[in-house]
Structure 1
């Protein structure tokens, strides 16, 4: 299982964004146990889908508003209905990871029972740093690319040239960052399968 712990950054200097995160995340991602406030400005959820967990972790960290800890490993079963009542190594790893994430430029850390955790962390930290530097125009083009539109179709939709679309996607390292997340997903899924054997 994958446990994600997210802590709001600079929460004492601004509004509490936790409830908005809980509502949005629980309505848009597939989870085993939903996001729930655990204490103060911190939330936690349980996943079994590596892709969902990795994509969300990178996006949350890249926003600059959150420190994200991904922990993977075993959990005590059956899981309780309340996310915050969960126990097991994956919960401990998530706690360890979120504390380390607070002291990184990427605001993201990964912990688990295998050596793969260190490589996954490095990949996802780099990806989060890349994503954090994207401009709104890159998001506009990249979101359409992710929906399967060609660069020419995107150009027509946005009223710009195909060359401008290509430039936006290239500057944002859109496809490279997506590939990094895909490879990280494969790696984490493999680790979870091994742990389940």
Structure 2
């Protein structure tokens, strides 16, 4: 199970964005959440998501806004589930709390934790060593965090023009239709998409989701 805890950046000098962010996420991903998303402590939101692909998509949406430090915890959840996310407990919630604390100091404003890492050291100073007996194709939490962070930083550097082209492309429009929509040449659209590194990003998504699935599997066994 995936718990996403997001803390609003510099909330003392900004309006409370939690309510509208929750509404946006529910509007886009209502079926993704095991329990309704909650605003927990003031400017913080908490989300409970059972499926890796959904957790990854929600993470990307949250991060794109630029307003949140995001911690993702992966692990078991105590059952039976309560009525609200804020009442739920379990290893994944403890891990998410440790993760969001580290995320505030991360360049990508993101961190990932699993119970083994979170309980051993809530603020690790370096990559977690691979445990003895792990198979060569098993990735550690720190390795997955590093790869997801690279993707988030790539997206963070995308220009407004790049996002405009990418959003239209992902809506299903061909580049010729995008050119008409934006009033620019097809070559200009192609250049925007190339500069946005959209193909590189999209190619990485399945592998990253699979790595998150593997961590979820390993923490649930």
Q: Judge same fold: TM > 0.5, yes or no.
A: yes
Q: How many residues align?
A: 197
For residue 5 of structure 1, what is the aligned residue in structure 2? 5
Point out 4+ residue stretches in structure 1 off by more than 6 angstroms: none
* Secondary structure of residue in 2 paired with 1:46: strand
Aligned equivalents of 2:4, 2:96: Cα separation in 1 = 6
Whether the 8 Å contact between 2:74 and 2:219 is mirrored in structure 1 is no
Larger radius of gyration: 2
For residue 32 of structure 1, what is the aligned residue in structure 2? 34
* Secondary structure of residue in 1 paired with 2:191: helix
Q: Establish whether residue 191 from structure 1 lines up as the match of residue 215 from structure 2.
A: yes
Deviation readout 1:65-95 (Å, 9 max, x if unpaired) = 1100001111111221110111111001100
Task: Tell me the C-alpha RMSD between the 2 structures.
Answer: 1.7
Q: TM-score, normalised by structure 1?
A: 0.92
For residue 44 of structure 2, what is the aligned residue in structure 1? 42
Which of 166, 169, 190 pairs up with 1:166?
190
Aligned 1:127-142 pairs, distance under 5 A: 127-142=151-166
User: Offset at 1:151?
Assistant: 2.0
Aligned equivalents of 1:164, 1:107: Cα separation in 2 = 32
* Secondary structure of residue in 2 paired with 1:39: coil
User: Offset at 1:12?
Assistant: 0.5
Whether the 8 Å contact between 1:58 and 1:124 is mirrored in structure 2 is no
Q: Establish whether residue 78 from structure 1 lines up as the match of residue 102 from structure 2.
A: no
Whether the 8 Å contact between 1:3 and 1:70 is mirrored in structure 2 is yes
Stretches of structure 1 that go unaligned for 5 or more consecutive residues are none
For residue 145 of structure 2, what is the aligned residue in structure 1? 121
Deviation readout 1:95-154 (Å, 9 max, x if unpaired) = 010000000111011111475321221122111111122222111111122123332232
For residue 56 of structure 2, what is the aligned residue in structure 1? 54
Q: TM-score, normalised by structure 2?
A: 0.82
User: Offset at 1:45?
Assistant: 1.0
Stretches of structure 2 that go unaligned for 5 or more consecutive residues are 117-138
